[in-house]
Structures are given as C-alpha cells and as structure tokens.
Chain A
C-alpha cells in the first residue's frame, strides 16, 4: 500500500496564482516592443510568452503582479495598471 508519494509533474496543473493579484497587473502595450525578451527572462513565474515584436504578454492565470517586467522593459512598453482598471475580469 502506498500513500501520497510521488508526483508526475505533467499531471500537476499548479495553483492559479493569478488570483493573488490585489492592486496591480502588467499591461503589455505592444507598441514599442523590440523583442529583447528581458520580460520573459525576469518573470519569477516564467509566465510571459511571445515570439515577434509586440506579441509578448503574461499569462494572467499565473501572474502575481510583482511588477518586475514593467521595471526591466527598456522601452517602457509594459506598465502596471490597477487591477480591473479596464473593466477586465481577473
């Protein structure tokens, strides 16, 4: 008999840590992006994805709203806005 023991990571969905955001979320303006990928690199969640210029965006199901992507973007193309500012649902 075995109890809770080993996890197949492919089966693990992860917590929806997007629900942690209280105040701010990153808005990806997708205007002046040069696809430097600093945002992808710096996100502690690893939840930012994109391919070409102006396609980068975070996965809001996991984004905790820490603000690091906005801080590192060399083109200030990411801004922190208030959660729910654009009438968006979380």
Chain B
C-alpha cells in the first residue's frame, strides 16, 4: 500500500512486518525516530516484541546478540558514535555467525561532533564481517531490510546485515513508499529457523577460545561465505521482484546509463538520486554521462563493477568518507577492480564530498563531471572552503 511516510516510519513499518521478537536500541540522532516508531507499535500491541531500552549501544548490540542466539529474530538501529561504541559486539555477532539486521542511519563521526550525514561510520566498520547494503531512497531503505533478513537467515549465509541509509536525508525525509502486506511478506520471509541456538534441550557452547590452531579457518569461512552472498543477492532480489513487483536486478549495483557512457560517477547512498538528475540533464544535452550505484558495499561486487565500467574511459568515484593517509575507501575498491585486468578506464579519479552533512548539490555533481578530465585526480575534496583553513594554529 502506498503511503507518504517519513523514512524512519517506513523502516519501522517494514520491521514490524518482519516480526522481530526482540528489539533493543539506544537513542542517537538521527536513528531516533525509527526506534520511537517501533516503541509505539509495541506499546499499542501492533507488534508483539520484547522492547529492551538499554543503557548503551554496546548493550543494545549485546541484547540482540543474546536474543538471536536464543533463536529469536531481533533488530537494532544506530549511527556514528553508537556504531563505533558497539563495534566489538558487531565483530562478535559476525564471528559467531548469527543473523541480524541493523539499520545504520549514516552520520559523521566526532571530533568535531557533527550530527549530519556522511558515510564514515559504516565505512569505518567495513571489516566487521557484516554485509553492508546502501539505500538510495526511502523505498530502497525499507526494501533492503526485508531482503536483509531473508539473506541473513539463509542457512548457508548466517551473517548479519547492516542497512545503511543516509541520516536525516533518508531518515527524516518523506517519500511515497509502498509498504507491502503482511501475507506477502510472510511468503517471502518465513519465521526464523535457527541453525543453532541456546536451548537446555540441546546444550551447545557458543564463542569458544580458538587458539592459533583454529582461528584462521573461521575467518576463511566468512571470506568464502561473502562470495556466496554475491551469488545469493541476485536470487533473493529476483524473488523479491516476483513478490513485490520492484526490480532491483542483481541487488549489487545499479547501472544508470553506464553502457555507452564516456564519464561515469560511482557512488553509494542518497547522493545517487542527485547524480541521476544531473546524468539526465547531461544526457538531454547529448553528453554521455552515467552513474554506477553501489548497493552492496560488502561484499564488494568487483565482477559487476568491472563489467559495467571496463569500457568507460573516465570514471569518478564519489566518496562520503575518507581513509586519512590513503586513498578514499570507495575509490580504492574501484581501482582494485581493474588491477591486473586487460580492460580498464583510462582514468579513475577520486572525489570526496558531503562530509559532515555538507550538501552535495547538482552543481557539486556537475563540478565532478567537469573535473573528470584525462588527468587522473588522486583525491580532491569538493566544495572545500579554503578560507576556513590555516597553515599554523592561531586565533
């Protein structure tokens, strides 16, 4: 059913349809509305779940870990500082091979303290062993949660999923969203059947000490399972299309006029909507521009990216995060895609924009296209204000 909803509310509605038995979260802007909406649903009896108001994000992640380990589907959401605070628990969840879906309402990280959107938080945890899916708009954000549970709980996967939606832009923005019916969701997402759980009828020990003779294989297994995720996402998205009518193709990337493009921007998240507008305007003027939207950041779909961009002469990568002292995080994945390959773009330029919530306007995107010349840009910040910078510290 189509409704004009705030992004957070859309996420809450879809989570309600997924019927988690335990919800636990700690407030942090801009995730708050998601959890508040769920609290209302539980309070009104619309959602039968144990709602655990914890004293920190570390405990929120711990509570959902305990719940899933006991065989009950669970949900949590966080941003920025909260994500970093629960970081060790995130590694624990993926290491224990427990399925979970968590919303990361992407927000910049202190210091300086900043509550607005960039992708530094989730990108900084790309090694945590979580599947990371990035939403362009509110409909996608909602749908990714549903796909997330299906993927996560698959017995051959058993890895947690982080759905990343840009804070404020998607969480507090409003769009017309199609929220599916419960019966259809139930057909797509069956109840959670644990592969293993804490149950006195069948005692199991979870989370043993694995010394050097055993640890390596657990990591290898996760690395291999991420390859299975690359194969499973297209299958699940095909099923999703059959149930709900929306076609996300392989669910790994979206190619927007990349096939004959001369210049393509690669990006993740809500900025892709803005880039699509600029691409449309450029195409109307006869310029062959395109966008490659990355949906699955982890696992990174190298084969799809290669296939989409191998014949594109100039590629710009737009990062909303940095890795200080090195190439930008998304740019380096794109560069690695072509390493050792026969075909490659002549230029892969890297641009950083939007940090701390600075608007990425259509003008900013046009600037990127115009800076995408035959001279490769190793890393440039867009919309930088040099007047705010000084060589030496002083009043």
Asked if A and B form a direct contact in the complex, defined as CB atoms under 8 angstroms apart, the reply is: yes
**Which of B5-13, B212-220, B376-384 lies on the face that meets chain A?**
B212-220
A1-56: which have CB < 8 Å to B? 1-10, 12
A4 in contact with B205 (CB, 8 Å): no
**Distance between A5 CB and nearest chain B CB, rounded to angstroms:** 6
Of chain A, the residue at the smallest CB distance from B228 is A1
B221 in contact with A7 (CB, 8 Å): no
B69-91: which have CB < 8 Å to A? none
B210 in contact with A4 (CB, 8 Å): yes
Asked if A8 meets B225 with Cβ closer than 8 Å, knowing A2-B97, A3-B218, A3-B219, the reply is: no
Which residues of the other chain, B, contact A1 by a CB distance below 8 angstroms? 220-221, 224-225, 228
B224 in contact with A6 (CB, 8 Å): no
B217 in contact with A9 (CB, 8 Å): no
- Interface residue from B204, B217, B220 paired with A6 (Cβ < 8 Å): B204
B204 in contact with A7 (CB, 8 Å): yes
Count A-B pairs with CB separation below 8 Å.
Answer: 38
**Distance between A19 CB and nearest chain B CB, rounded to angstroms:** 19
The number of chain B residues with a CB under 8 A from chain A is 20
> How far, in whole Å, are A12 and B225 apart by their CA atoms in the complex?
27
**Distance between A6 CB and nearest chain B CB, rounded to angstroms:** 5
Which residues of the other chain, A, contact B326 by a CB distance below 8 angstroms? none
B205 in contact with A2 (CB, 8 Å): no
A5 in contact with B225 (CB, 8 Å): no
B224 in contact with A9 (CB, 8 Å): no
> How far, in whole Å, are A4 and B219 apart by their CA atoms in the complex?
10
> How far, in whole Å, are A9 and B204 apart by their CA atoms in the complex?
6
**CB of B206 within 8 Å of the partner chain:** yes
**Distance between A48 CB and nearest chain B CB, rounded to angstroms:** 23
B205 in contact with A9 (CB, 8 Å): yes
Looking at A4, A10, A12, the one whose CB has the most chain B CB atoms below 10 A away is A4
A6 in contact with B196 (CB, 8 Å): yes
A3 in contact with B203 (CB, 8 Å): no
Of chain A, the residue at the smallest CB distance from B95 is A5
Which residues of the other chain, A, contact B97 by a CB distance below 8 angstroms? 2, 5
B280-303: which have CB < 8 Å to A? none
A3 in contact with B221 (CB, 8 Å): yes
Digitize B167-209: 1 where CB-to-A-CB distance is under 8 Å, 0 elsewhere: 0000000000000000000000000000010000001111010
**Distance between B263 CB and nearest chain A CB, rounded to angstroms:** 40
B214 in contact with A4 (CB, 8 Å): yes
Looking at A1, A3, A12, the one whose CB has the most chain B CB atoms below 10 A away is A3
Which residues of the other chain, A, contact B228 by a CB distance below 8 angstroms? 1
**Distance between B232 CB and nearest chain A CB, rounded to angstroms:** 13
> How far, in whole Å, are A7 and B206 apart by their CA atoms in the complex?
7
**Distance between A15 CB and nearest chain B CB, rounded to angstroms:** 13
Of chain A, the residue at the smallest CB distance from B214 is A4
> How far, in whole Å, are A10 and B205 apart by their CA atoms in the complex?
10
A6 in contact with B206 (CB, 8 Å): yes
A4 in contact with B217 (CB, 8 Å): yes
- Interface residue from B96, B204, B214, B218 paired with A8 (Cβ < 8 Å): B204
B220 in contact with A3 (CB, 8 Å): yes
A9 in contact with B221 (CB, 8 Å): no
> How far, in whole Å, are A3 and B219 apart by their CA atoms in the complex?
7
Digitize B84-117: 1 where CB-to-A-CB distance is under 8 Å, 0 elsewhere: 0000000000001100000000000000000000
> How far, in whole Å, are A5 and B97 apart by their CA atoms in the complex?
8
**Distance between B151 CB and nearest chain A CB, rounded to angstroms:** 16
> How far, in whole Å, are A87 and B224 apart by their CA atoms in the complex?
55
**Distance between A29 CB and nearest chain B CB, rounded to angstroms:** 37
> How far, in whole Å, are A6 and B214 apart by their CA atoms in the complex?
12
B219 in contact with A6 (CB, 8 Å): no
**Distance between B195 CB and nearest chain A CB, rounded to angstroms:** 9
A4 in contact with B204 (CB, 8 Å): no
Of chain A, the residue at the smallest CB distance from B196 is A6
> How far, in whole Å, are A11 and B114 apart by their CA atoms in the complex?
52
Looking at A1, A6, A10, the one whose CB has the most chain B CB atoms below 10 A away is A1
> How far, in whole Å, are A38 and B97 apart by their CA atoms in the complex?
42
**Can you list 18 residue pairs at the A/B interface with Cβ under 8 Å?**
A1-B224, A1-B225, A1-B228, A2-B97, A3-B214, A3-B218, A3-B220, A5-B96, A5-B97, A5-B218, A6-B196, A6-B205, A6-B206, A7-B205, A8-B204, A8-B205, A9-B203, A9-B205
Give the 5 A-B CB pairs with smallest separation, nearest first: A3-B218, A3-B221, A3-B217, A1-B224, A4-B214
